[in-house]
């Protein structure tokens, strides 16, 4: 929306200024010292210690199937989402119109994330991963229908896609926390986040080639298939009985 109103250059300056303002509270924040570290600082400074921690995370029982889910759960979403805005541009949408759609859809996704936090209090981890993952895949079936000719359904499909994305993202992140070891939460969570983002990033790189080769409709249908494929792995997955120590 800002690009349409004030142009690219002013928008980028506005973005840079906003980021600079947000750095002020970060610079003023005083990180508390670790009062009773479980591992001496000298030992943690050793490369061998970090290597053992990394190996220790992946060598636990039941991690293989979880890694498959971690790699594939958001691939279809990232692969499909990257081509939504180019599709809308090719359909003649203005930057302001795309911005309004994106704003409302993003707010819908935030509401869905809050709802998912409540639902995860009583839904099982497996049910949440599978159910929300199915919704995520169905959202791109909706985009396939839009690209195939149902242009009047852009708004409801976009809102549903962001709603499903909010639900599925929270489900994935909650289970990622379940796999974090005590006193290793930061490292274990970051490791898992890096794995799933790497997979999403690699597929996103190919999204433009896919849309060019298959057309937008074919691309969105492929994204739905990628999103649904990982559900098969989730059917056989057993969540950890409690957060792993």
pLDDT at 73: 94
pLDDT at 226: 94
Q: Is the pLDDT of residue 37 over 60?
A: no
pLDDT digits (tens, 9 = 90+) for 55-84: 778 878 778 899 999 999 999 999 999 999
All domains in the chain, ordered by first residue? 62-236 (1.20.1250.20)
Under 8 Å between Cβ of 230 and 133: yes
Mean predicted lDDT score pLDDT of the chain: 89
- Helix axis angle for 154-178 and 95-119, nearest 10°, is 40
pLDDT at 47: 66
pLDDT digits (tens, 9 = 90+) for 96-106: 899 999 999 99
pLDDT digits (tens, 9 = 90+) for 180-231: 888 788 888 999 999 999 999 999 999 999 999 999 999 999 999 999 999 9
DSSP code per residue over the chain: -HHHHHHHHHHHHHHHHHHHHHHHHHHH--PPP-SS-SS-HHHHTSHHHHHHHHHHHHTSTTHHHHHHHHHHTTHHHHHHHTTHHHHHHHTT--HHHHHHHHHHHHHHHHHHHHHHHHHTTTS-HHHHHHHHHHHHHHHHHHHHHHHTT-GGGHHHHHHHHHHHHHHHHHHHHHHHHHTPPTT-HHHHHHHHHHHHHHHHHHHHHTHHHHHHHHHHHHHHHHHHHHHHHHHHHHHH----SS---
pLDDT digits (tens, 9 = 90+) for 144-181: 999 998 888 999 999 999 999 999 999 999 999 999 88
């Amino acid at each position: 929306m800002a690009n349409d109103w004030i142009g690219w250059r002013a928008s980028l300056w506005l973005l840079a200024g906003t980021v600079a303002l947000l750095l002020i509270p970060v610079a003023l924040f005083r990180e508390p010292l670790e009062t009773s570290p479980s591992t001496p600082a000298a030992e943690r400074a050793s490369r061998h210690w970090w290597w053992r921690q990394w190996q220790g995370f992946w060598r636990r029982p039941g991690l293989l199937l979880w890694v498959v889910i971690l790699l594939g759960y958001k691939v279809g979403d990232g692969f499909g989402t990257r081509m939504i805005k180019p599709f809308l541009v090719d359909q003649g949408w203005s930057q302001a119109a795309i911005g309004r759609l994106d704003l409302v859809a993003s707010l819908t996704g935030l509401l869905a994330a809050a709802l998912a936090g409540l639902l995860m209090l009583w839904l099982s981890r497996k049910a949440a991963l599978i159910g929300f993952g199915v919704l995520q895949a169905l959202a791109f079936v909706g985009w396939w229908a839009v690209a195939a000719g149902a242009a009047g359904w852009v708004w409801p499909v976009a809102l549903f896609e962001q709603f499903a994305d909010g639900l599925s993202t929270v489900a994935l992140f909650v289970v990622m926390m379940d796999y974090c070891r005590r006193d290793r939460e930061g490292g274990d969570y970051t490791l898992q986040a890096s794995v799933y983002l790497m997979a999403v990033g690699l597929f996103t790189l190919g999204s433009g080639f896919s849309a060019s080769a298959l057309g937008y409709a074919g691309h969105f249908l492929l994204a739905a298939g990628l999103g649904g494929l990982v559900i098969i792995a989730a059917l056989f997955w057993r969540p950890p009985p409690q957060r792993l120590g």
